[in-house]
Amino acid sequence: VMGKRLEDHLRFAVAWWHGFAWPGGDPFGGQTFQRPWFGDTMKDAKAKADAAFDLFAILGQPFFCFHDADIRPEGATFAESRRNLEEMVDYIGGKMEAGGPKLLWGTANLFSHRRYMAGAATNPDPDVFAYAAATVKSCIDATQKLGGQNYVLWGGREGYETLLNTDLARERQQAGRFLQMVVDYARKIGFDGTILIEPKPQEPTKHQYDHDVATVYGFLKEFGLEGEVKVNVEQGHAILAGHSFEHELALAASLGILGSIDMNRNDYQSGWDTDQFPNNVPEVALAYYEILRAGGFTTGGTNFDAKLRRQSLDPVDLVAAHVGAMDVCARGLKAAVALLEDGELERLRADRYAGWDGVAAKAMLDGSLEEAAALVEERSIEPEPRSGRQERLEAIVNRFV
C-alpha cells in the first residue's frame, strides 16, 4: 500500500514502562506484581533490560519506547541519576547493535516523583522548572544517542487542581517557554527526529493544559511552535476527552500535526485511563483509515501504551498481550487498506460536497455576506436537507471489518 509493506505502516513499538517497570500499582492497595528485576540498583536495571530484550526477541517488533525512569535507577542526586541513565544507554545501545529493535521515542518521566506534584514546567517553584529542564536535556541526549526517531513530552502534572492557588496565564507561559527550550536544544544538537506532545485531559491533574489535540494546537500556535512540534495521539486519552480516537487523528492530520500514536483501549468506563491492550478491530480500522488518509506515518508508529491487568501476574502474559494486540492492529490496518482500495466511502464523501463545484458556490468562498444575500434572492434559493446516507456508509465499513 502506498509503496510500503503492511508492517511498515504499523511500525509497532513495545513500551518499556508497562512491561518491565510497572509494579501493578493499585490505588486501593499498592504493588501487585513481583519481578526478579525489580530493585534500585544498576544490577536490577540491567536485569530489567535483559528481560526486555528477551521479550523483544520473541516478539520481533521493530521498535521500543522508554522513559528515563524506566531504564535507570533514581540516584541520590541529579548528577547520579544522569550518570545512571548514561550507563544504561550504553548498555541498551550494545543490545540494539546486537540486532534488537530500534528506538521509536524516548521521554522524561516528569510526573511520578513527588517533586512534580505541583507541575514540572508549570511548577510555581523555579527549582522544579530547572530540574525538569535538566532532566529533559539528559533524556534528549539519551534519545539522540540511541538513534530515537521521535522525542515525546507528556505533561502529566502540567495542570491544576484548584484555580484558587493557580496563576493559569503564568503557568501556560512557563510551559511555552519550556517547550521552546526543548525545541532549541534538540535543533542545536542536530536531533532530526520529531518532537511530539501527547495530549491527555483530567488525569493526573483535574485540569490539564494539554487536554486534547485542539487545545495543544492552540498552545503551539500561541508560542509559534506549530511547525516544530506534532502530537502523539493515544486512544484512551481521546476517549477521556470525550472524543473518538479517529476524531483526534483526523483533527491532528487536518492541522498538519499528526505524528505518532499510543495504541491501547479505554472503553465504556472512561472516567480514568485504563491502558488496556487494543481488542476492538472496527475502532482500530477507523484509526488506521485516518492515518492512511493522512499519508501514513513518517517518523511515528504504533506504540502499545498498554498494561497487563493486575491479576495477570505471570510476565509470560506480556507475550500473549502483545501478540493479540499486533493481530488486532494488523486486522484493523488490512480493513483500512481494503476500504481505501474499494474507494466507495471516499467517492460518497466527495459526492456529499459536490455542490461546491458550481461557479456561484465557488465564488462564495471568497465572497461576502452581501453577495450571498443577493444570490439567495436572485436565484430563489430555498434549501431542503439532503440525505446523509450514514447507514449506507456504516454498512460499507462493516463489510470490511
The annotation places the binding site at 198, 234, 237, 262, 273, 275, 305
- Do 37 and 20 meet the contact criterion of CB atoms below 8 Å apart? yes
Which of these ranges, 124-132, 137-145, 181-189, 298-306, lies near Mg ion under the rule CB under 5 A?
298-306
Give me the least distance between CB of 354 and ligand 3MF, in Å please.
Answer: 41
- Is 70 an active-site residue? yes
Nearer to ligand 3MF, 171 or 305 (CB): 305
Q: What DSSP assignment string belongs to 176-201?
A: HHHHHHHHHHHHHTT--SEEEE----
End-to-end CA distance of the chain: 18
Contact pattern for Mg ion over residues 269 through 288, marking x by CB under 5 A: ----x---------------
Phi, psi (degrees; rounded to nearest 5) at 217: -65, -40
Give me the least distance between CB of 277 and ligand 3MF, in Å please.
Answer: 14
Q: Name the residues that contact ligand 3MF, by CB under 6 A.
A: 17, 107, 152, 154, 198, 200, 234, 262, 273, 305
Q: Which does 141 bind (CB under 5 to 8 A by kind): ligand 3MF, Mg ion, none?
A: none
Q: Which residue among 59, 305, 318, 401 contacts Mg ion (CB under 5 A)?
A: 305
- Is 67 an active-site residue? yes
Q: Which residue among 141, 210, 234, 246 contacts Mg ion (CB under 5 A)?
A: 234
Give me the least distance between CB of 234 and Mg ion, in Å please.
Answer: 4
- Long-range CB pairs of 125-133 (<8 Å, 24+ gap) are 129/174, 129/178, 131/78, 132/108, 132/178, 133/178, 133/181
Nearer to ligand 3MF, 25 or 147 (CB): 25
Closest residue to ligand 3MF in the complex (CB)? 154
Q: Which does 61 bind (CB under 5 to 8 A by kind): ligand 3MF, Mg ion, none?
A: none
Amino acid, res. 244: S
Q: Which does 107 bind (CB under 5 to 8 A by kind): Mg ion, ligand 3MF, none?
A: ligand 3MF
DSSP β-ladder status, 207-208 and 229-234: unpaired
Question: Which residues are bridge partners to 230 per DSSP?
Answer: 196
Residue 158 in contact with Mg ion, rule: CB under 5 A: no
Active-site residue among 68, 70, 141, 212?
70
Nearer to Mg ion, 21 or 401 (CB): 21
What whole-number distance in Å separates Cα of residue 239 and Cα of residue 225? 26
Nearer to Mg ion, 273 or 290 (CB): 273
Active-site residue among 67, 211, 243, 322?
67
- Do 253 and 298 meet the contact criterion of CB atoms below 8 Å apart? no
Question: Which residues are bridge partners to 107 per DSSP?
Answer: 67, 152
> Residue 225 belongs to what H/E stretch?
none
Nearer to ligand 3MF, 183 or 335 (CB): 183
- Do 242 and 193 meet the contact criterion of CB atoms below 8 Å apart? no
Give me the least distance between CB of 190 and Mg ion, in Å please.
Answer: 27
Q: Which does 17 bind (CB under 5 to 8 A by kind): ligand 3MF, Mg ion, none?
A: ligand 3MF
Annotated binding-site ranges for Mg(2+):
198, 234, 237, 262, 273, 275, 305
Give, in degrees to the nearest 5, the angle at Cα 196 between 191 and 202: 150
Query: Which distant-in-sequence residues (6+ apart) come within 8 Å of 161 by Cβ?
Result: 205, 206, 207
Nearer to ligand 3MF, 118 or 153 (CB): 153
Amino acid, res. 180: Q
Residue carrying the nine cell digits 511552535: 225
> Residue 153 belongs to what H/E stretch?
strand 150-153
Q: Which does 248 bind (CB under 5 to 8 A by kind): ligand 3MF, Mg ion, none?
A: none
Q: Which residues are catalytic?
A: 67, 70
Contacting residues toward Mg ion, per CB under 5 A? 234, 262, 273, 305
